[in-house]
């Protein structure tokens, strides 16, 4: 009798099981359908336009599923003051463009999807290392008033604002004070889209605060 | 007293972990085997049912016109050709035809969609006839349009997710800037329907300023000769006919290759499991060589020992096989989901159909192969001489 | 062919030759002996003297190279005939019970099941009730539902004895039955064997190294270089 045999037999059967699993692997359901995320259509030229002083960028991703989970999602929703959107589950990957100049990180570009009047709003902001908005960009919006919102005059109203400015104002109810409350709507018919854009930027800044700036503070 | 079956089954309990692992091996391979055999049967049945559910077995469109949304969107709608709506009535009048449904496909360029804009596909459909042709559509929210001229849309799941639309929201038809109210969102189907936006035929004709259609779906009467109808439709000038019988044959051809491959894998898995059985039984024979010798001094004939060891194989294979088949039946719906993920096209309904006949057939295969693999260890055990077991000394 | 006149086993010129390479070894070298019904014969001798080989030949566990063996007046070996495994099994199950130094109980069967084990393969007429009778006789009733791992070595050998006797053999062959037991347990097993010989008239052929055990039998045969020398 070979005393080592039972172990060999177990390992062989385990190998057999693994082989089966590998064979079955392509069949394993991707239980969560890839959710729609928000990315720049032309990152190279978009980054150069939104962050003219940059010479390089890196892409990274964050999501509630990977960090913070359900509790963090609830916290963010509470900070935004409304119910979650139908299509914003835990596994939406958020794309973060980290902006560099001479090897040093000088800021970020980050976009979010927001429900608009006739379709989705894809709204990006570029931010410096302290979380102040440097540029505002609408990548996608539907409706005959789109060109009014994409005018530089409208976008400039966001430049220089920080999360503090948005905390003084509730873009869901339209109540509050400060610079955000003072913004003018260039298309009075497009109320949903006007508030949608403000809400998109607030959501953007809250997400950046939770996933990027607060972790940076933690590291310091 | 004690039966030979009890002796055999108690022997298997000696090395519990080894027996368990062998059982798991047999169980998994019989699970895979019965599921695949079930799939072999179920898929074709489901595909047939699906094609019947399609409502229309034939589609007629102008020559060169794309007949499904994906091609239309790839071509940016450039290849669309129109047919007169009067054609619907002339086809409907044919004796073989049960029902017809007119369809208008339109592609609009949306400059804000994706990289450098994209094509949004719209299907103008007849509220009275089309839903009956797609009975497998399930609504996640809402339902079909209020009437055939309503400024309303029903969205496929992915189209709705991309635009973050819910029932009650508005969408804007690109290029035309016409607002439509979303009244229904379909469940995910895993097909191109997910990316399609359905609009009442008349509404889409109005938006596109066209009074024609692109496609006619034809449901043939039961027992009618489809081939004859097909041939007569081919006679129509500048028309092309797409038959789902052909589509089905193409799909079955595609699937058969995959099916053969998976079946080979199942057979390999079964063989591996059986090598496990040979190994387990042979090891247990080697470990018990002295006991087997003693059984022979007690009066056990070689054939008795052969059957004793063979019974062990039989127990392992039947327990493992029955457990595997049981699991396959319990998890048949899970297998359905898995199969759906890997196949290029999956019809609705049960893909893995396991009935009692198939279960028994699989069990017979497992037992047959198992007993064959049990012959060698059993023969080896039968040949043990009593003296081999007794310490040679003196 | 001899007639049965109370003779249980009769060997004439039994020889067993083994080949080791080109060398031939006479493990048993022309042994002749007679064992009568009710004898208790002990075989002793140094290792390699051939005692176990002789008992294996007497017990029909293998064929001799030459010589003759009669069993209860019936010729078994002789005239150069070689018996196959099936024929040997038939003879063994009708005539012999065997016990060994290493008990060889099946660990997953209870004491009672182990004793009943031979009946699963062969059952002589009239042995119903033997299992319980033997367990009672050998004082193992209270242990019948225990597994072999739960009883002592001496008890295991008692179970092996009961198993060997369940088909009522004419002769009990015991190969070093106390080799794995301490003195006290060995003495107990010795008493059991003596009792079986005296009260039940069982013929016992035993191989032993133990001088005390060897003296239990009425006859003592010493093996030296494949030859048997009976003392007394």
- Closest CA–CA distance from residue C220 to any residue of chain B (Å): 16
CA distance A41 to A24: 36
Question: Where along chain B do its domains lie?
Answer: 4-50+251-389, 64-237
- pLDDT, residue A28, reads 31
| Closest Cβ–Cβ partner in C47, C52, C118 for B298 | C118
CA distance B354 to C155: 54
- pLDDT, residue A88, reads 63
| Closest Cβ–Cβ partner in A1, A12, A142 for B287 | A1
CB B266 within 8 A of CB B32: yes
CB of B323 within 8 Å of any CB in chain A? no
Nearest Cα neighbor of A118 from B113, B112, B181, B201 is B181
Least confident of B203-217, B262-276, C37-51: B262-276
- Helix A69-80 to helix A191-208 angle (10° resolution) is 130
CB of B156 within 8 Å of any CB in chain A? no
Contacts of A119 in chain B (CB under 8 A): 163-165, 171-172
Instruction: Determine C/A contact with 3+ CB pairs under 8 A as the test.
Output: no
CB C36 within 8 A of CB C8: yes
CB A109 within 8 A of CB A206: no
C135 vs A93, more confident: C135
The residues that bridge with B218 in the sheet, in sequence order, are B58, B100
CB of A144 within 8 Å of any CB in chain B? yes
CB of A86 within 8 Å of any CB in chain B? yes
Q: For chain A, first and last CA: distance in Å? A: 64
Least confident of A109-123, B26-40, B202-216, C206-220: B26-40
Least confident of A18-27, A109-118, C198-207: A18-27
Mean pLDDT (chain B, rounded): 83
- pLDDT, residue B393, reads 35
DSSP B94-126: STTEEEEEEEEEEEEEETTSSTT-EEEEEEEE-
Q: Which residues, including other chains, have CB under 8 Å from residue C137's CB and lie 6 or more apart?
A: C162
CB pairs under 8 A between B and C: 100
CB pairs under 8 A between A and B: 100
Q: What angle do CA B379, B383, B387 make, to 5 degrees?
A: 155
| Residue A8 scores a pLDDT above 60 | no
What band does C142 get if pLDDT is binned at 50, 70 and 90? very high
A47-64: average pLDDT: 90
CB of A115 within 8 Å of any CB in chain B? yes
Where does C7-231 sit in CATH, by number? 3.40.50.300
Least confident of B121-125, B248-252, B375-379: B248-252
CB contact under 8 A, A41 and B15: no
Pairing between β-strand C7-20 and β-strand C66-71 as defined by DSSP bridges: antiparallel
CB B87 within 8 A of CB B107: no
Cross-sheet strand order for the sheet of C219-224: C96-100, C171-175, C203-207, C40-44, C219-224, C227-231
A33-57: average pLDDT: 82
Each residue of C49-87: pLDDT tens digit?
998 899 999 999 888 999 999 988 888 888 777 888 888
User: Tokens representing B61?
Assistant: 């469109």
- Closest CA–CA distance from residue A130 to any residue of chain B (Å): 31
Q: Which residues, including other chains, have CB under 8 Å from residue C210's CB and lie 6 or more apart?
A: C178, C179, C186
| Residue A5 scores a pLDDT above 50 | no
- pLDDT, residue A7, reads 43
Nearest Cα neighbor of C16 from C73, C70, C71, C58 is C58
Each residue of B71-112: pLDDT tens digit?
666 666 667 788 888 888 888 888 888 889 999 988 888 776
B158-181: average pLDDT: 88
What band does B152 get if pLDDT is binned at 50, 70 and 90? very high
Nearest Cα neighbor of B108 from B199, B158, B174 is B174
| Residue A19 scores a pLDDT above 60 | no
Contacts of B32 in chain A (CB under 8 A): 20, 24
Nearest Cα neighbor of A122 from A63, A47, A39, A33 is A39
CB B262 within 8 A of CB A2: no
- pLDDT, residue A31, reads 32
| Residue A124 scores a pLDDT above 90 | yes
Nearest CA in chain B to C106: B291
CA distance C96 to C165: 9
Nearest CA in chain B to C54: B394
CA distance A69 to B111: 35
3-state secondary structure of B376: helix
| Closest Cβ–Cβ partner in A26, A86, A143 for B342 | A26
Other C-beta atoms closer than 10 Å to the C-beta of C194 total 15
CB of B194 within 8 Å of any CB in chain A? no
CB contact under 8 A, B394 and C50: yes
B133-154: average pLDDT: 89
What band does A38 get if pLDDT is binned at 50, 70 and 90? confident
Share of chain A above pLDDT 90, in %: 28
Least confident of B28-32, B38-42, B390-394: B390-394
- pLDDT, residue A17, reads 39
- pLDDT, residue B150, reads 92
B280-294: average pLDDT: 87
Helical ranges in chain A per DSSP H:
5-24, 43-50, 69-80, 146-149, 152-156, 163-167, 191-208, 214-219
CA distance B60 to B39: 32
B contact set with C (CB within 8 A)? 1-4, 6-7, 10-11, 13-14, 290-291, 294-302, 304, 385-387, 389-394
What band does C151 get if pLDDT is binned at 50, 70 and 90? very high
Three-state secondary structure of chain C:
CCCCCCEEEEEEEEEEEEEECCEEEEEEEEEEEEEECCCEEEEECCCCCCHHHHHHHHCCCCCCCEEEEEECCEEEECCCCCCCHHHHHHHHHHHEEEEECCCCCCCCCCHHHHHHHHHHCCCCCCCCCHHHHHHHHCCCHHHCCCCHHHCCHHHHHHHHHHHHHCCCCCEEEEECCCCCCCHHHHHHHHHHHHHHHHHHCCEEEEECCCHHHHCCCCEEEEEECCEEEEEC
DSSP B260-326: HHHHHHHHHHHHHHHHHHHHHHHHHHHHTHHHHHHHHHTT--HHHHHHHHHHHHHHHHHHHHHHHHH
CB of A23 within 8 Å of any CB in chain B? yes
Question: Where along chain C do its domains lie?
Answer: 7-231
- Closest CA–CA distance from residue A88 to any residue of chain B (Å): 9
CB B150 within 8 A of CB B143: no
| Residue B193 scores a pLDDT above 80 | no
């Amino acid at each position: 009798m070979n005393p080592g045999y039972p172990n060999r037999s177990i390992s062989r059967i385990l190998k057999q099981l693994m082989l089966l699993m590998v064979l079955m692997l392509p069949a394993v359901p991707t239980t969560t359908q890839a959710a729609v995320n928000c990315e720049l259509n032309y990152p190279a030229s978009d980054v150069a336009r939104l962050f003219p002083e940059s010479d390089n960028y890196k892409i990274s991703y964050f999501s509630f599923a990977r960090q913070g989970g359900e509790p963090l999602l609830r916290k963010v929703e509470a900070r935004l003051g409304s119910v979650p959107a139908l299509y914003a589950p835990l596994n939406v990957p958020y794309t973060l463009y980290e902006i560099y100049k001479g090897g040093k990180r000088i800021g970020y570009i980050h976009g979010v999807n927001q429900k608009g009047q006739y379709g989705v709003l894809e709204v990006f902001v570029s931010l410096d290392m302290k979380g102040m908005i440097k540029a505002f960009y609408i990548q996608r919006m539907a409706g005959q008033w789109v060109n009014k919102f994409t005018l530089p005059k409208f976008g400039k109203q966001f430049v220089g604002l920080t999360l503090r400015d948005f905390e003084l104002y509730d873009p869901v109810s339209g109540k509050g004070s400060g610079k955000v409350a003072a913004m003018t709507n260039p298309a009075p018919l497009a109320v949903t889209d006007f508030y949608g854009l403000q809400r998109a930027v607030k959501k953007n800044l809250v997400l950046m605060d939770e996933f990027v700036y607060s972790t940076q503070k933690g590291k310091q | 007293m004690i039966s030979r079956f009890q002796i055999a089954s108690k022997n298997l309990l000696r090395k519990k972990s080894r027996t368990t692992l062998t059982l798991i091996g047999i169980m998994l391979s019989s699970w895979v085997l019965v599921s695949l055999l079930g799939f072999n049967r179920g898929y074709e049945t489901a595909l047939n049912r699906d094609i019947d559910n399609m409502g229309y077995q034939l589609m007629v469109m102008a020559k060169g016109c794309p007949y499904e949304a994906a091609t239309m969107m790839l071509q940016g709608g450039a290849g669309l050709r129109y047919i007169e709506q009067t054609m619907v009535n002339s086809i409907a009048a044919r004796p073989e035809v049960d029902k017809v449904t007119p369809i208008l496909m339109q592609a609009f360029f949306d400059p804000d969609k994706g990289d450098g804009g994209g094509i949004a596909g719209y299907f103008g459909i007849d509220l009275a006839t089309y839903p009956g042709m797609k009975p497998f559509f399930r609504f996640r929210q809402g339902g079909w349009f209020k009437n055939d001229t309503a400024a309303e849309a029903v969205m496929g799941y992915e189209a709705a997710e991309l635009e973050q639309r819910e029932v009650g929201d508005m969408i804007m038809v690109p290029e035309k800037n016409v607002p439509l109210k979303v009244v229904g969102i379909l469940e995910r189907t895993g097909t191109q329907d997910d990316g399609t936006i359905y609009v009442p035929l008349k509404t889409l004709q109005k938006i596109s300023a066209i009074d024609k259609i692109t496609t006619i779906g034809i449901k043939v009467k039961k027992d009618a000769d489809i081939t004859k109808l097909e041939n007569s439709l081919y006679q129509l000038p500048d028309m092309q006919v797409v038959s789902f019988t052909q589509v089905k044959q193409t799909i079955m051809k595609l699937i058969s290759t995959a099916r053969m491959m998976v079946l080979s894998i199942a057979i390999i898995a079964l063989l591996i499991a059986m090598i496990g059985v040979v190994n387990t039984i042979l090891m247990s024979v080697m470990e018990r060589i002295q006991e087997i010798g003693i059984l022979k001094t007690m009066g056990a004939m070689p054939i008795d020992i052969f059957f004793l060891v063979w019974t062990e194989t039989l127990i392992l294979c039947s327990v493992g096989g029955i457990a595997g088949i049981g699991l396959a039946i319990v998890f048949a719906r899970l297998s359905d989901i898995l199969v759906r993920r890997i196949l290029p096209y999956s019809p609705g309904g049960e893909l893995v159909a396991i009935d009692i006949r198939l279960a028994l057939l699989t069990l017979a295969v497992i037992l047959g192969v198992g007993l064959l693999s049990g012959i060698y260890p059993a023969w080896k055990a039968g040949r043990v001489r009593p003296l081999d077991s007794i310490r040679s000394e003196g | 062919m001899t007639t049965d006149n109370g003779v249980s086993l009769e060997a004439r010129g039994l020889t067993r030759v083994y080949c080791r390479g080109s060398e031939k070894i006479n493990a048993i070298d022309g042994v002749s002996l007679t064992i009568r019904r009710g004898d208790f014969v002990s075989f002793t001798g140094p290792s390699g003297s051939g005692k176990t080989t002789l008992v294996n030949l007497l017990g029909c566990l293998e064929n001799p190279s030459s010589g003759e063996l009669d069993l209860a007046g019936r010729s078994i070996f002789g005239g150069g005939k070689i018996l196959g495994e099936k024929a040997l099994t038939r003879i063994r199950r009708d005539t012999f019970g065997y016990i060994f130094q290493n008990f060889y109980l099946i660990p997953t069967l209870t004491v009672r099941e182990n004793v009943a084990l031979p009946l699963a393969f062969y059952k002589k007429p009239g042995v119903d009730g033997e299992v319980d009778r033997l367990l009672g006789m050998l004082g193992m009733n209270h242990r019948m539902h225990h597994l072999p791992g739960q009883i002592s070595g001496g008890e295991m050998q008692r179970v092996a004895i009961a198993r060997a006797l369940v088909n009522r053999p004419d002769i009990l062959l015991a190969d070093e039955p106390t080799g794995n037991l301490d003195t006290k347990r060995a003495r107990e097993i010795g008493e059991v064997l003596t009792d079986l010989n005296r009260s039940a008239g069982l013929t016992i052929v035993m191989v032993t190294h133990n001088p005390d055990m060897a003296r239990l039998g009425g006859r003592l045969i010493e093996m030296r270089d494949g030859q048997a020398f009976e003392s007394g």
